[in-house]
Amino acid sequence: MSQSDIWTEKYRPVKFEEVVGQQEVVKRLKSLVQAMNIPHLLFAGPAGIGKSTLALIIVKELYGSTWRDNYLELNASDERGIDVVRQKVKDFARTKALGAVPFKVIFLDEADALTKEAQQALRRTMENYTNTCRFIMSCNYSSKILDPIQSRCVVLRFKLLEKKDIAEVIKRVAEKEKVNLQENAVEELYEASEGDCRRAINLLQATAAISPDVNAEMVRIITAKTKPADVRIVLDYALTGDFLKSREKLLDVMLRESVSGTDVIKAIQKEIWNLPIEPEIKVRLTEKTGEIEFRLVEGSDEFVQLESMLASFVLAGQGKST
């Protein structure tokens, strides 16, 4: 476990009331736990929003001090073959629980990484050992989980955390760690994390390691994020028809800030909607940035593709089709 993981683990909520941004899900889970009986559960949603945390809270509320004896956690991205389901999962599921709760809990993290064969084996295990075991599965994409497994579970969908939720968590951490967190740094941490609370905490830790006084500029340095002002200059040159200056400024930004092509694309996509051009042109340019990002992901040359995108902005500035 890395130092940043330890720091995140240190501030993992231990009660339902401490979880932020998932009030509806928490309300349903709390009522199930109070009844001392839960069905098989499937948590679906983006990374860093509380799925694993809630699974841990559930078992701690159910079993108290004996939770470690009644809980098995497997990360399916590391162990995702059929042998794991046949051996580890089945061996744990068939044994009787310790304590008043009549079942154990198996938590399969990143369950969408399980192979189809492993999922087929899992559905039979879920049926055969329902009396002695409950499954909690978390995934980013529920569509990758077989329908027969989904039908055996209560599916709970998690949403991305809002700014107020991220702010609440990182302010709580900053207060306990005696970090002087400026308000503009909170905004920057939220923008950099994109709703991922774990990433926000890790960025705060990395920034606080430099200085206990954390501001927006320091966060930008840590994240190697392109400044909106620099991106705006690149786009302004392109829209006025000066392709060479736009290209030169883009190269300067990428080399000086050590920013990747995909990060530049995301910054440009956000800045498009602040440009003084027609909404129809903004839509076409947004479509173009999506196409360029796809090419970058597929392995195309970053700078050549970004030049192609700048050429589209030059044409848009001249009123020509992109």
Domain segments of the chain as ranges? 22-157, 163-223, 228-317
Residues 245-269 pLDDT 10s: 888 888 887 777 677 778 888 888 8
The tokens for 118 are 């492993």
Q: What is the pLDDT of residue 82?
A: 64
CA 160 to chain centre: 8
Identify which of 251, 183, 196, 250 has the alpha carbon closest to the alpha carbon of residue 223: 196
User: What order of strands is seen across the sheet that includes strand 41-44?
Assistant: 71-75, 104-109, 133-139, 41-44, 154-157
What secondary structure letter does DSSP report for 48? T
CB 228 within 8 A of CB 197: no
Task: Give the pLDDT confidence score for residue 117 in this predicted structure.
Answer: 82
pLDDT given at position 246: 86
Q: Which pLDDT value is given to residue 8?
A: 55
Locate 52 and state its tokens: 């694993």
Quickly name the fold that domain 228-317 has.
Answer: Zinc Finger, Delta Prime; domain 3 (1.20.272)
Fold of 22-157: Rossmann fold (3.40.50)
Residue 183 to residue 197: CA distance in whole angstroms:
17
Q: Are 144 and 112 in contact (CB under 8 A)?
A: yes
| Topology classification of domain 163-223 | Helicase, Ruva Protein; domain 3 (1.10.8)
Q: What is the pLDDT of residue 49?
A: 84
CA distance 150 to 144: 10
Strands 154-157 and 133-139: unpaired
Q: For residue 322, what pLDDT is reported?
A: 53
pLDDT of residue 12: 64
CA gap 288, 295 in Å, rounded: 11
Confirm if 174 and 204 have CB atoms less than 8 A apart: yes
Kind of pairing between the strands at 41-44 and 71-75 = unpaired
List the chain pLDDT tens, one digit each, 322 residues.
555 555 555 556 677 777 888 888 888 888 888 888 888 899 988 888 888 888 888 888 888 888 888 888 887 655 566 666 677 777 787 888 787 888 888 888 888 888 888 888 888 888 888 888 888 888 888 888 888 888 888 888 888 888 888 888 888 888 888 888 888 888 888 888 888 888 888 888 888 888 888 888 888 777 766 677 778 888 888 888 888 888 888 888 777 767 777 888 888 888 888 888 888 888 888 888 888 888 888 887 888 888 888 888 888 877 665 5
Residue 4: predicted pLDDT = 52
Q: Amino acid identity, residue 79?
A: E
Residue 320's pLDDT is 64
Distance of alpha carbon 181 from alpha carbon 204, whole angstroms = 9
